[in-house]
Structure 1
Amino acid sequence: MAIMLVAVGLVLGAVFGFEAFRARMIQKSIAGLRNPPQTVSTITAGTQRWQDRLEAVGSTRAEKGADLSPQVAGTVKAIHFQSGEEVEQGTLLVELEDADDVAHLHALEATTALAQLNYDRDVRLLKSQSVSQQTADTDLATLKNDQAQVAQQQALVGYKSIRAPFSGRIGIRQVDLGQYIAPGAPIVTLQKLDPIFVDFYLPQQDLAKIRVGQPVIAKVDTYPDQTFTGTIMAINSLVNTATRNVQVRATFKNPDEKLLPGMFATVDIEVGTQKDYVTLPKTAIYYNAYGDIAYLVEDAGRDESGQEQKIAHQVFVKTGQTRGDQVAVLDGIKPADVVVTAGQNKLHNGSPVQINNEVTTPFSANPQVSEQ
C-alpha cells in the first residue's frame, strides 16, 4: 500500500509538474510574439501664424474677346493678317469678293444722281409754278428712296470687309484664300489680353468677407512658381439658386500676356486677421470616414533590459485650412506633442514604436516643384 501511494504521488507530481512547465513555456512563447516596435517618423507640434483665406477655382477670360465671322456669305478675296499678331482697332483683316455688290452700288448711285437732278429742276421750276407741288414731292420721295438704297448697298459692301472691332491679339486663322464662307462661319479669334479677368464662385456665406477692390492672388499650373496679384472688380448681384454660389470677377494686369483666356486658375483671398494655429504636415493626419486621426508618441516606461519604450496613442483631431504641405489643427493636438508623420498605416492604438527621423516629411507652406 505504501509503495502504491508513493507511486501514485510520483505520477501525479509528474503530471502536474509537466502541466505547470508547459504553461510557463506557452506564456513565454506568447510574450515573445508581441508586435515588434514599428519604425515611424515624427515631428514636435508647434504653432505658426496663419492668415485666413478663401480659396476658389475659376477661369480666365479676356477683357474684350470675340470670334470674328462675316455677316454675309462670300468668297475670301484677300487676307491681311498673320496668325498670332497684334492688330489695332479698325485694321482690315479679311476681304470677301464684292465686285457684283460694288457694281450694284454704282448703279444705285447713278439712279440717285438722276433723282437728285430731277428734284433740283423741280425746285427751280416750282418757283415759277411750271410744275405742281405734287410732282416736286414725288421726285423728293424718289430721291430719298434712292439714297436709302445706296446706303443699304454701301452697308452690304462694307460687310464684305471684316475689320478688327478692337485692339488685341489675333489667333489662328480658320479660313483660306478663295474659300467660300457662310454667314457666321468663324474666321479668327481676337482677344485683348491686358488686363485679363478671372471669374470664380464663392459660397453665399462668404459674401460678407469680400468687397470690391480687395486683393486677390491667382495661380495657374502653367507657371507653378509664379503668382499673379489682382483685385476684385465686381460681385454679381444674383446668387445662383441651384448652388447658392455667387460669381465674382477679379482683374489682373497682364502686360507680358502670360495669361490667356480659358485657363484654369486657383484663387486665394486673404480675409480677417492673422491667427496662431498648431501646424502639422498633411501626412500626419489620417483621414477616414469616422473622423480625422493622428498618432501621438508617448513614453511607456522601460523594458526588462532598462531600455526606454514608446507607444503610439490614437487621437481624433479637427483640422482647418491647408497651405502647401501644411495643415492647421484646431483641436486634438497641443504644442510640444510628438506626432507621427509617416508610418501610420502600420499602427494601432498602443503599438510600440521606434523613431527614425533621418528622412523628414515635406513641411513647407510654399512647396517648390523640383526640376529633376
Structure 2
Amino acid sequence: MLKKFLLLLTAFVMVTLVLGAAKANQIKKLAAAPRTMPPAGVAATAARSEEWRSTLHAIGTLAPVAGMTIAADADGIVVRVAAENGAAVRAGDLLVELDSSVEVAQRESARARAELARVNITRQEELWQRKAIAKVEYDTAVAARKQAEADVAALDAVIAKKQVRAPFAGRAGLRLVNPGQYVGRGAPLLPLQQLDPMYVNFSIPQRHLPDLALGRKVALRVDAFPEAAYAGEITAINATVDAATRNITVQATVANPGEKLRAGMFVRVEVELPESMPVIVVPATAVAYAPYGNSIFIVEKMKGPDGQEYLGVRQQFVEVSTHRGDLVAIKGAVKPGEQVVTAGVFKLRNGAPVQVNNAGQPAASANPRPTNS
C-alpha cells in the first residue's frame, strides 16, 4: 500500500514539474517578446499654405446716421398720431398733430385785421399824397399793417409747431403718446431712426493707430444674421484716445438696404489691413497646448527598433501666430502637404504608431457657423 502511494506521489511530482517547466518557458518567451502598443486611431489632414490678409478684430455697436426721439415743441392735446408704429416716413411728413383750434381762430382774426390794415394803408397813402393828412397818421397806418402781418406770421408759427413733422427720412418707432393725451413742451412723442446707411462704432487699442486710415475696408457680422456679411469702410477716427482704456474709438459706415440692421445691435468687426502674409494653416484641433510649448503631430513612415517600417507620428513644436475661425496659422518646421493629426492628439507621444481613420474628421472652417444658428 505504501509502495503504491509513493509511486503516485512520484508521478504527481513529475507531472507538476513538467507543467511548471512548460509554463515557465511560455512566460520567458512572453517576457522576451518586444513590447509594442497597438496603433492609436487618429484623424489627419494636410497642412496647407495660404495668404492671410492681416486683420484687426473688435466688438462694435450699430448707431443710426440720424436718429432721435421726436419731442413736442409746444403744449397741447394730441388729436392725431399720423405715423404708424414702424412705418417708413419721408422728410416733412406729419407725425403727430396737437390741438390748434384756438390758434387757428386767432389767426383768422389776425388775418382780418391785416386785411383791414392793408385797406387803410391804401387810403392813407392817397390822402398823404394829396397832403390831406399828417405824416404821422400815414406812418401809424404803415406800422399797423406791419403789426397785423406779424401777428399772422406768429400764429402760423405756433400752428406749425403743433404739427410735428419728420426732420429727415427714416423709420418711426413705437409711439409714446396717444390721441387725447395732454403733452407739455419737450415731452417725447416717438423715436425716428434713419437706418440706411448706418454707423458702427468700435474701439481699437492705441498701438494699432498707425494701421488705421479713412477708407479702410471693414467687414461686419451680426449674431442675428449669421449667414450675412456686411461690408463698409472707416469714415471717422476719434481725435483723442481714452485715457482709462488706452483705446481709440473708430466709426465706420455700412450700407443697410434691407434695413435688417437696427441701432444698438452688437456686431463683430474685422478691419482689413493692406498687407498680407503667407502662413502655414492647420485646424485648431491639431495643436496640443502645453506649458512647456505647443506642438503638433506629423504622420509619417517610421522604423522601429527591429528595423520594421510602420506608420507613426513625429512631435513637432510650433508657435501659434494667429487664429481665423477653426484654423490657426503656425510657425515651425512644418511643410505644406504634411499630414497633421487633427483628432486624437492628446493620447499620442513622439514615435507612437497610429492608424489613420478620417471618418471622424472635425470640421475646420475660417468662418464657422453653429449648426443650430
TM range (shorter): 0.7 to 0.9
Match of 2:210 in 1: 208
The counterpart of 2:47, out of the listed 34, 45, 48, is 45
Match of 1:3 in 2: none
Given residue 257 of structure 2, which amino acid in structure 1 is its aligned partner?
P
For residues 328 and 309 of structure 2, what CA distance do their matches in structure 1 show?
34
For residues 213 and 159 of structure 2, what CA distance do their matches in structure 1 show?
49
Given residue 98 of structure 1, which amino acid in structure 2 is its aligned partner?
S
After superposition, what is the alpha-carbon deviation per residue over 1:254-304, rounded to whole angstroms, capped at 9, x for unaligned?
223232222222222222333211101121224466654434446553377
After superposition, the Cα gap between the structure-2 partners of 1:346 and 1:157, relative to the gap in structure 1 and judged at 3 Å, is same
Q: Is the 8 A contact 2:170 2:194 kept in 1?
A: yes
- Deviation, 1:340, is 2.2
Given residue 324 of structure 2, which amino acid in structure 1 is its aligned partner?
R
- Deviation, 1:198, is 1.7
> What are structure 1's unaligned runs of at least 5 residues?
1-13
Q: Is the 8 A contact 1:38 1:353 kept in 2?
A: yes
SS in 1 for 2:62: strand
Q: TM-score, normalised by structure 1?
A: 0.74
For residues 65 and 170 of structure 2, what CA distance do their matches in structure 1 show?
10
- Deviation, 1:106, is 6.4
Q: Is the 8 A contact 1:86 1:169 kept in 2?
A: yes
- Deviation, 1:30, is 12
Match of 2:327 in 1: 326
- Deviation, 1:329, is 0.9
**Is 2:345 the partner of 1:344?**
yes
**Is 2:247 the partner of 1:245?**
yes
Match of 1:267 in 2: 269
Match of 2:5 in 1: none
> What are structure 2's unaligned runs of at least 5 residues?
1-16
Q: Is the 8 A contact 1:53 1:271 kept in 2?
A: yes
- Deviation, 1:357, is 2.0
- Deviation, 1:229, is 2.1
Given residue 202 of structure 2, which amino acid in structure 1 is its aligned partner?
F
Match of 2:182 in 1: 180
Trace 1:105-124 onto structure 2 (pairs within 5 A).
none
Trace 1:1-372 onto structure 2 (pairs within 5 A).
28=31, 37-102=39-104, 154-287=156-289, 292-297=294-299, 301-302=303-304, 306=308, 308=310, 310-311=312-313, 313=315, 315=317, 317-331=318-332, 333-347=334-348, 353-367=354-368
Q: Is the 8 A contact 1:302 1:309 kept in 2?
A: no
- Deviation, 1:94, is 0.8
Given residue 206 of structure 1, which amino acid in structure 2 is its aligned partner?
H
Given residue 239 of structure 1, which amino acid in structure 2 is its aligned partner?
V
Q: What is the number of equivalent residue pairs in this alignment?
A: 350
SS in 1 for 2:160: helix
For residues 275 and 91 of structure 2, what CA distance do their matches in structure 1 show?
46
Given residue 177 of structure 2, which amino acid in structure 1 is its aligned partner?
V
Match of 2:4 in 1: none
Percent sequence identity over aligned pairs: 36
C-alpha root-mean-square deviation of aligned residues, in Å? Answer: 4.4
For residues 274 and 224 of structure 2, what CA distance do their matches in structure 1 show?
30
Q: TM-score, normalised by structure 2?
A: 0.73
For residues 111 and 287 of structure 1, what CA distance do their matches in structure 2 show?
90
For residues 144 and 29 of structure 1, what CA distance do their matches in structure 2 show?
123
Q: Is the 8 A contact 2:302 2:309 kept in 1?
A: no
Given residue 327 of structure 1, which amino acid in structure 2 is its aligned partner?
V
Given residue 192 of structure 1, which amino acid in structure 2 is its aligned partner?
Q
- Deviation, 1:153, is 5.7
SS in 1 for 2:330: strand
